[in-house]
Amino acid sequence: MTTRWLTPEEQRAWRAYIAASRLLEDAIDRQLQQEGGMPHLFYSVLATLSDAPGRRLRMTDLAEALKITRSRLTYVVTRLERDGLVRRENCAADKRASLAVLTDEGTAVLERTAPGHVETVRSLLFDRLTAEQVGQLEEICTGIAHRLQGEGAGAGTDDVPWRRRSSCS
């Protein structure tokens, strides 16, 4: 098999993407740690639950929404549960499943933290893009996500984080 090396243009784009994504994630993490005392992933759990009907989601659905492994989500929810921001409930429809539920305290933390988070995202990302570039960014990222999730030709793959089995099980 022949290696399909990146062209100079692709190499520059790849390196720019890596630099931007790491710097953006670091800046968002720092802002959320300073203002909310939590990393970006913890905030994302709270925000995702706040958008869900009844502020609750099955753990497997939450892992899929966040694009993380179930074991990583379990760790995060355990920490948020310890802080009183989330609680777990049994799922009446499926005894094997559990629900993550955003508590009133979690909602309050989210409401206090969201304005600074949104301002950080706006100032570091969207204020630097034209309306056309925002549309292009969405199109590019959606296409990449669909490809990585195996949508289309390889749909149903288990090679996405929320479907992977832990090596410890």
Distance CA 50, CA 42 (A): 13
Question: Each residue's pLDDT tens digit in the chain (169 positions)?
Answer: 899 999 999 999 999 999 999 999 999 999 999 999 999 999 999 999 999 999 999 999 999 999 999 899 999 999 999 999 999 998 877 777 899 999 999 999 999 999 999 999 999 999 999 999 999 999 999 999 888 887 644 445 567 667 665 443 3
Number of continuous H segments (helices) and E segments (strands) in the chain: 6, 3
Find, among 54, 52, 81, 84, the residue nearest to 66 by Cα. 52
Burial tier of 71 (Cβ tally within 10 Å: 0-12, 13-18, 19+): middle
Partner residues linked to 87 by β-bridges: 101
Distance CA 46, CA 128 (A): 27
